[in-house]
Every structure is written in C-alpha cells, then in structure tokens.
C-alpha cells in the first residue's frame, strides 16, 4: 500500500479501498467497526462470518417495506441485503452492488443456505462501482478474458463493448428500484466522483422512490493532509463529507424531503479534533415535471410560524396555499404529510390548466368550495362530528 495518497486521485482511492476491504473480508477488522443496533429478529439466521464482518455505521434497512425492490450500495458481506430480504418478503427483491471480489464471495457464499432458511431467494449480488451503476464490471471482466486489449484495434472493440453494455445491459437501469440503501460506503468514493455518485442514486430510483443512507460525516472540513492518508481514506475518515454538504448533495441531485433522521451524538472517531459520526439520511425522488392546477390547496399546520421547501416556496402556518397537483401529492404524503392539511376542491376539476409554480399564491376557501356553494347544514354528530 502507498504511504501517501494524492488527494482525489480516483485510481489511488479505489485501490486503497479495495486492498483494505479484501483484507476485511478475510478477517474481521476492529477499526472499521461501529456498533449498530440492528433489529435482532433479522439477525438470528445470519452466519457468524457475516455478522463479524459488519462494517456498517447505521441501519438503513429499517426504511424498507414489504414488496420493495431495493438496491444496497457497497453491500460488503451482505448483512444489510439479507436483513432487507426478510423485510421486503417474497414479493420484493434485493440487489447488492460491491466492487470487491472478496466481499462479493463472502456475501454469495451463504446465499443458498440463507434462501432455504428464509424460504425464498430474492437476493443477488452484482459487481460494480456505485458511482457508475451503468457498467456491469463482472460481465465486462468476463468479456475481457476472451477479448484482451493488446493493440489499438482491440482497444476500439473494448470501447464499443463498454458502450453497448451500458446501453443494452446496464448493471442497474434507469427508474429501476423503489429504495436505495447504503451503509457506510459513500464516504469511500473519491471527492471528484461524489457528484456523479448522487446523480446515479437519483437515476436508478423510480419516481416516488426513496433513498435511505447511513454514512460517516465530519463536523469540519477534512484537511488535505488527512485526505492524502490511505489508511484514513479506507477507514471512512478522509472522504467523509461535512454534515450540511452531505444533505445538500441530495438536494443538488434533485431529491426532495431530504431529512437527517438519525445523528449519533457521540462521534464514532475524532481525528485531530475533527469529529466523525454516523448519520442516516432519507430523501425522495419525484418533484420534477409539469405543474397542473386542480384547484387544490394545503395548510401548513406548524409548529413553526412559516416554512420553505427546497424550491423556495413559502408556507405560513394556517394559510391556505394554492398548489399544483404534483406539489399537492408530494405535501400530502411522506415525509411531509404530518405537517400539512390537504384541501381538495368540492367539485373535481375536469380540465386542469397549467399552474405557475414560480410564486405560490393563497387560495380562498370560496375557490375550493365553489362560488355557488351556499349550503346550510345541521350540527354534525357523526363519528367525526364535534358533539
């Protein structure tokens, strides 16, 4: 292993991470471990070899639901995949991606036995780099064995093969999964490839899909001399993003509802006074697209006097704000639903018109009820009534 790492040298970062995790697949490495409380009911069936080689820092599997198709980035020994397999059930699927052959071997070694114990086989492990989920590296390596690159002509054939594989048989296609998970891996991707990594997470999720990511973040910028240290890189330190930068990366990739759902108070490690701790972030895909007016509105319940979404729209507590169908659907589902009242029009709109989402406006109660509405009712004493 090199003694210093040129900061942001993609090849050097990849190599230092590969060597470290190959060794960690052979024998447990205490320095890479971070205590996590997984739901014990899902651990009972896992072999010791997988439990001992747990290099996660959180439990994103808790965000999986029955029937989900789930992608686990940097699946390591397969623990999160096998936990998630039990949560999503026979109707769901789990795909683990890792670039390390030794980790993939470890995860696959137990697949048959675990499928028999669980009662179904809904897990698969694929070889690839998580910042480039379009390329199936396992398939490419197999192709290279019979098509080695040795001259300009074979180089051209190789490049054409890579392009064809990306187009026709991507490792993970567009809009392919309901949920992207990752446990302590994003920090291992070089800084220059981090933007692409978040864009890849966004690309593979279907509209309405979500990401749940546990990772290590720093409370201050990591200085260059620490970024040049291969031990610190592969040890989940050098590539840790700052807390705010980490959240913003999801927003920049196009996600909405980005939330820090867990932040460990106690740092996992402190290096030169910089605290490195585990956080778990959830984020949603689906705010892109056209805005149509269906005469719908929302009321922000509080507790703050006002709040803004990532696109700058302002919601004042108690105010009826006119929203397009897309925003209405977003604000009345997870993760926003608990903060908003949904106001639907008394009569559905048959011919919706384009809605200008640039500046939100209030919507008078009369607009929702209809100008002609003049009902007078008795006191309501039904199950939802107030007496």
Ligand X SMILES: C[S@@+](CC[C@H](N)C(=O)[O-])C[C@H]1O[C@@H](n2cnc3c(N)ncnc32)[C@H](O)[C@@H]1O
Distance of CA 318 to the CA centre of its chain: 32
Query: Shortest gap between Cβ of 77 and ligand X (angstroms)?
Result: 6
Query: Shortest gap between Cβ of 69 and ligand X (angstroms)?
Result: 18
Q: Judged by CB, which is closer to ligand X: 15, or 329? A: 15
Q: Which of 95, 103, 271, 331 binds ligand X (CB under 6 A)?
A: 103
Query: Shortest gap between Cβ of 217 and ligand X (angstroms)?
Result: 14
Q: Which of 63, 69, 86, 98 binds ligand X (CB under 6 A)?
A: 98
277 in contact with ligand X (CB under 6 A): no
Query: Shortest gap between Cβ of 237 and ligand X (angstroms)?
Result: 12
137 in contact with ligand X (CB under 6 A): no
HEC profile of the chain: CCCCCCCCCHHHHHHHHHHHHHHHHHCCCHHHCCCCCCCHHHHCCCCHHHHHCCCCCCCHHHHCCCCCEEEEECCCCCHHHHHHHHHHCCCCEEEEEECCHHHHHHHHHCHHHHHHHHCCCCEEEEECECCECCCCHHHHHHHHHHCCCCCHHHHHHHHHHHHHHHHHCCCCCCCCEEEEEEECCHHHCCHHHHHHHHHHHHHHEEEEEEEEEEEEEECCCCCHHHHCCHHHHHCCCCCCEEHHHHHHHHHHHCCEEEEEEEECCCCCEEECCEEEEEEEEEEECCCCCCCEECCEEEEECCCCCEEECCCCCEEEECCEEEECHHHHHHHCCCCCHHHEEEECCCCCCCCCEECCCCCCCECCHHHHHCCCCCCCCCCCCCCCCCC
Query: Shortest gap between Cβ of 279 and ligand X (angstroms)?
Result: 15
Q: Judged by CB, which is closer to ligand X: 200, or 243? A: 200
Q: Which of 131, 278, 327, 368 binds ligand X (CB under 6 A)?
A: 131
Q: Judged by CB, which is closer to ligand X: 170, or 286? A: 170
| Interface map 3-22 toward ligand X (x if CB under 6 A) | --------------x---x-
Q: Judged by CB, which is closer to ligand X: 21, or 198? A: 21
Q: Judged by CB, which is closer to ligand X: 195, or 207? A: 195
56 in contact with ligand X (CB under 6 A): yes
Applying CB under 6 A, the site for ligand X has a residue count of 26
**Interacting positions 65-94 with ligand X (CB under 6 A):** 74-77, 79-80
54 in contact with ligand X (CB under 6 A): yes
Q: Which of 12, 16, 46, 55 binds ligand X (CB under 6 A)?
A: 55
**Interacting positions 232-261 with ligand X (CB under 6 A):** 236
**Footprint on this chain of ligand X (rule: CB under 6 A):** 17, 21, 32, 54-56, 74-77, 79-80, 97-100, 103, 129-131, 183-185, 188-189, 236
């Amino acid at each position: 292993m090199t003694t210093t790492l040129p900061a942001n040298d993609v090849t050097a970062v990849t190599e230092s991470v590969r060597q470290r995790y190959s060794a960690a697949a052979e024998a447990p490495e205490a320095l890479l471990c971070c205590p996590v409380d997984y739901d014990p009911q899902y651990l009972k069936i896992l072999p010791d070899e997988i439990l001992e080689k747990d290099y996660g820092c959180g439990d994103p599997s808790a965000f999986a639901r029955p029937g989900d198709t789930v992608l686990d980035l940097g699946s390591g020994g397969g623990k999160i995949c096998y936990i998630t397999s039990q949560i999503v059930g026979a109707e769901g699927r789990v795909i683990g991606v890792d670039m390390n052959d030794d980790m993939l071997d470890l995860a696959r070694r137990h697949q048959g036995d675990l499928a028999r114990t669980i009662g179904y086989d809904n897990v698969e492990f694929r070889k690839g780099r998580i910042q480039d989920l379009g390329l199936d590296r396992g398939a490419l390596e197999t192709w290279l064995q019979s098509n080695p690159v040795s001259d300009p002509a074979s180089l051209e054939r190789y490049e054409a093969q890579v392009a064809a594989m990306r187009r026709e048989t991507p490792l993970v296609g567009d809009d392919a999964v309901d949920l992207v998970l990752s446990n302590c891996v994003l920090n291992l991707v070089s800084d220059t490839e981090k933007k692409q990594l978040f864009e890849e997470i966004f690309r593979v999720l279907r509209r309405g899909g979500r990401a749940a990511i546990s990772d290590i973040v720093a409370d201050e910028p990591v200085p260059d001399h620490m970024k040049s240290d291969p031990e610190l890189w592969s040890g989940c330190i050098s590539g840790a993003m700052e807390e705010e930068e980490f959240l913003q990366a999801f927003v920049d990739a196009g996600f909405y509802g980005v939330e820090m759902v867990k932040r460990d108070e106690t740092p996992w490690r402190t290096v030169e006074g910089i605290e490195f701790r585990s956080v778990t972030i959830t984020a949603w895909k689906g705010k892109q697209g056209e805005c149509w007016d269906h005469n719908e509105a929302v009321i922000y319940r509080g507790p703050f006097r006002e709040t803004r979404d990532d696109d700058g729209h302002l919601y004042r507590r108690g105010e009826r704000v006119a929203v397009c169908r897309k925003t209405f659907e977003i604000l009345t589902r997870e993760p926003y639903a608990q903060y908003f009242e949904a106001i639907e029009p008394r009569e559905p709109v048959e011919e919706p018109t384009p809605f200008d989402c640039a500046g939100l406006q209030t919507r008078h109660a009369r607009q929702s009820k209809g100008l002609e509405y003049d009902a007078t009712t008795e006191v309501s004493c039904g199950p939802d009534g107030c007496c």
